[in-house]
Structure 1
């Protein structure tokens, strides 16, 4: 049965290559890239044999952990790409579970990633060819690491097999891909700085901790054997084997459940407008239950639903909490000596987050697409529409900006300039929401349509979109210029008066511009609602 599953995998792969020449090109390109990466990995592993044991252990533990995480996350990020081993496809066949598990595990290695991983793990034995005992431990460790790669991948694939048919799951998995992509640059910067520092104590400490987890234990055990710590090496092998056994048990449970009831969970949610709703949302009305029963309250409840469920909005929300991490890494890696955390981009985390959140609703009418007809047909006043959308954003943006702005000062332990930065952040947020309320009522821009990927680049008048974005950013800078001037004076003079003055001006001026933007945006929408809807239908 195992051999039959392997032949089935190879047959499906061959037929796919015959059906599509572009798939053959993709396999060739992927194979060449994989061979190049494998060559670099093998050369690096051979060179590690000449380095001290602790250095080789740190590199292998960190690299091996990343390898295991990559195998684990791949079925989620690329859900639905390879369905040849989907559990539901075997539900009608009386295949023993044990044989199916073994067959899927071996078949999972067929392909460029599997072959490259197998050869790279085999090359780790060269790194630890420092005696018979370390070499033997390295062989066992490589086998355990390979098993963890495959079993963790199949565990996640089985658990996500039913969810993969849901559009919401695909949208969420794509959005979550932003997190590692955004943090990739800061991670590389920290790693480069750690390697540049003498001894790299932070990286060594992280590797030491990971070495006692199932992710890093198989890559750390040979180093312990090379240092003569045989009991420690055996203990880490036991940890790796226990992790593999636990993952295999979880995989067998999820695979058995998927075979017994294929697609039952997804099928119960198919059809109707309630697809993807949680149990609590299905029973109630969500934000409509507690928002005021007014036109503005209804618009705010609808906007909050967008922020929670529309991937085009949610993608921006994920970036905001990551901004302090990026700014912190930029400050830490850029400062010299023991400078303050406030002497770098980290102090402006709240200001940048305020700009992103405030300007995010400058295209809210464009995001509505033809659903904007509901506002036009219902006769919703422009003022209520603008107020509801602004209130929905400020409901979560205001406390978020306060926290992100004060976080650097909390970590630095210096609160002298906190009022000035808080004033600028709140000024940018409030003024920006007012400006966005006016801009979105006057202009429509090209955005992904409802249901499309938030990362799609739609065709259309991109020149107008760029002009609106650039002009709005410049206008917001002019509106926030009083707070900027007071912040600069506070930085130069260190005077508490300027700092608190910036806070007062930011709140007062920002509130005034917010009200003005809502009123002017409401009047503009009342006058141009039909034209706005016509422009949206032309975009479709």
Structure 2
């Protein structure tokens, strides 16, 4: 049965690659990128092991612990449960639970992240090539690392799966994930500023750095995340008592993870999770507030999505957090309040770029557009209007507030021109892109951070293309706006506003028209793609 589940995983992966060229490209690029990272890390570990194996082992312990921790934590925020390993798919099969558990664990190794982790762990073990016993311990530790990563990840995600079905929990989880991600940049900026103000200098390989790494490794080596990476160091130093405790920590953690996963799997198989949270109908909502036209119907539906769908809320949640991030960066970097002038353009880009895969978010609801014959122009404008109605006042308000706080009222025309230019350009590019570049996204009711299998690279490629096209079309606005802001000029500010509004209008109209033609030409293909994602 274990071999059968592995073959099933490989068959599903092969079928996915044959069905989608994006996922084929994504897998190839992911493998090449992973192999390049592995080659770099393993090469650095081997070279470091030749010069100072002890320090290299300490670095591997700290870095490896972060890798194991990421395996346990990141899936809750970014990926969720792997669609091909969801226990719900096996509820109707009479498979013994322990056999299913073993099969899912082995099948979990069939992925790019697992392969990269295994190669990196095994390759970095050769940093201890000068000590055969330490090398053996490092190789055994690499096996333990892979087991901890796969089993721990499956245990955590299966255990937390019922919580992810709660809409409120998903929204809280989404905000909890966004805040630390946005705080990474300000944190390092604050650390740099603190170090500079206190006169502290850090030299790579210096005594201070080596001491900090050794202190961190001595603590991390006792945790389940760093213990298997520290086995080789313990053998090299002859600390057999410490090695015994570290082996016991790993064995106990693996046993506990298996027990947790087993019980969570039993619960999932006996009491399958329900679907999305239901709700009571409360009138027609936005449908009663818009004209009874095809465009009005699309406007009402999209406005409802933006206000009630957690997947769309991910974009909106970024906007109120942007001022905090910009203020922290401005204070810690010494840029001052002038950095606040970037706030409105950033918010405009986030809102405009949110439409870049709007068709993919429709899921099965897109069939209504096909069945009712919604014209392309109605579909495109219906998606743009809610964002424009929300975005224009918000961007203008942020621009006014930023210039007021910065005390640079003379730059208001330039900030408005750049911000509205970014919003209109992003909306125009997104209107065209969403009719052509469609990729899998979380289904309605799922976590906003759950990425379907094989969609990561497809989304990255599509978003990169849309971003580069948006940046290219913003060149006229930025060519006038940047000089107007860097060397404040009232005349250039007025010109920037004119250029920004004109370019935004042109790109928006042309983008909607191109998107409408593409939509009508590719309607069957779009429906087939979206249906395949369901």
TM bucket (normalised to shorter chain) is 0.5 to 0.7
Verify the 8 A CA contact 1:155 1:254 in the aligned structure 2. Answer: yes
Give the equivalent residue in structure 1 for 2:145.
145
Point out where structure 1 has 5 or more consecutive residues left out of the alignment: 275-301, 328-341, 399-422, 482-512, 514-519
Cα distance, 1:61 vs. partner? 0.9
Other structure's SS at 2:215 match: helix
Give the equivalent residue in structure 2 for 1:109.
109
Other structure's SS at 1:84 match: helix
Distance 1:168 1:59 in 2: 36
Q: How does 1:391-410 map to 2 (within 5 A)?
A: none
Cα distance, 1:143 vs. partner? 3.1
Give the equivalent residue in structure 2 for 1:505.
none
TM-score normalised by structure 2 residue count = 0.57
TM-score normalised by structure 1 residue count = 0.57
Give the equivalent residue in structure 1 for 2:56.
56
Q: How does 1:332-481 map to 2 (within 5 A)?
A: 346-348=333-335, 350-352=337-339, 354-360=340-346, 370=382, 426-427=406-407, 444-447=424-427, 455=463, 458=466, 465-469=474-478, 471-476=480-485
Verify the 8 A CA contact 1:2 1:100 in the aligned structure 2. Answer: yes
Verify the 8 A CA contact 2:5 2:103 in the aligned structure 1. Answer: yes
Aligned residues: 419
Cα distance, 1:58 vs. partner? 1.7
1:214 aligns with 2:214: no
Verify the 8 A CA contact 1:307 1:314 in the aligned structure 2. Answer: no
Task: Note closer, same or farther for the CA distance 1:538–1:139 as it changes in structure 2 (3 Å cut).
Answer: closer
Distance 2:20 2:386 in 1: 44
Give the equivalent residue in structure 1 for 2:204.
195
Distance 2:24 2:384 in 1: 45
Give the equivalent residue in structure 1 for 2:215.
205
Task: Note closer, same or farther for the CA distance 1:273–1:322 as it changes in structure 2 (3 Å cut).
Answer: farther
Cα distance, 1:232 vs. partner? 2.1
Instruction: Please provide the CA RMSD for this pair.
Output: 5.9
Cα distance, 1:146 vs. partner? 1.7
Verify the 8 A CA contact 2:81 2:157 in the aligned structure 1. Answer: no
Deviations 1:286-345 (A, max 9, x none): xxxxxxxxxxxxxxxx99999996433434555665568878xxxxxxxxxxxxxx9xx7
Distance 1:16 1:470 in 2: 44
Give the equivalent residue in structure 1 for 2:88.
88
Distance 1:262 1:210 in 2: 37
Verify the 8 A CA contact 2:345 2:395 in the aligned structure 1. Answer: no
Distance 2:485 2:184 in 1: 29
Distance 1:146 1:124 in 2: 13
Verify the 8 A CA contact 2:410 2:488 in the aligned structure 1. Answer: yes
Give the equivalent residue in structure 2 for 1:231.
241
Verify the 8 A CA contact 1:212 1:239 in the aligned structure 2. Answer: yes
Verify the 8 A CA contact 1:446 1:465 in the aligned structure 2. Answer: no
Task: Note closer, same or farther for the CA distance 1:364–1:119 as it changes in structure 2 (3 Å cut).
Answer: closer
| Deviates further, 253-262 or 140-149 | 253-262
Q: How does 1:22-171 map to 2 (within 5 A)?
A: 27=27, 30-72=30-72, 75-76=75-76, 79=79, 83-128=83-128, 134=134, 137-158=137-158, 163=164
Cα distance, 1:263 vs. partner? 4.3
Distance 2:387 2:126 in 1: 68
Structure number with greater CO (CA < 8 Å, separation at least 6) is 2
Task: Note closer, same or farther for the CA distance 1:94–1:306 as it changes in structure 2 (3 Å cut).
Answer: closer
Cα distance, 1:55 vs. partner? 0.5
Task: Note closer, same or farther for the CA distance 1:374–1:359 as it changes in structure 2 (3 Å cut).
Answer: closer
Cα distance, 1:89 vs. partner? 1.0
Distance 2:472 2:135 in 1: 62
Cα distance, 1:105 vs. partner? 0.9
Deviations 1:130-158 (A, max 9, x none): 66764564454333212111113323543
Give the equivalent residue in structure 2 for 1:509.
none
Other structure's SS at 1:267 match: coil
1:240 aligns with 2:220: no
Other structure's SS at 2:252 match: helix
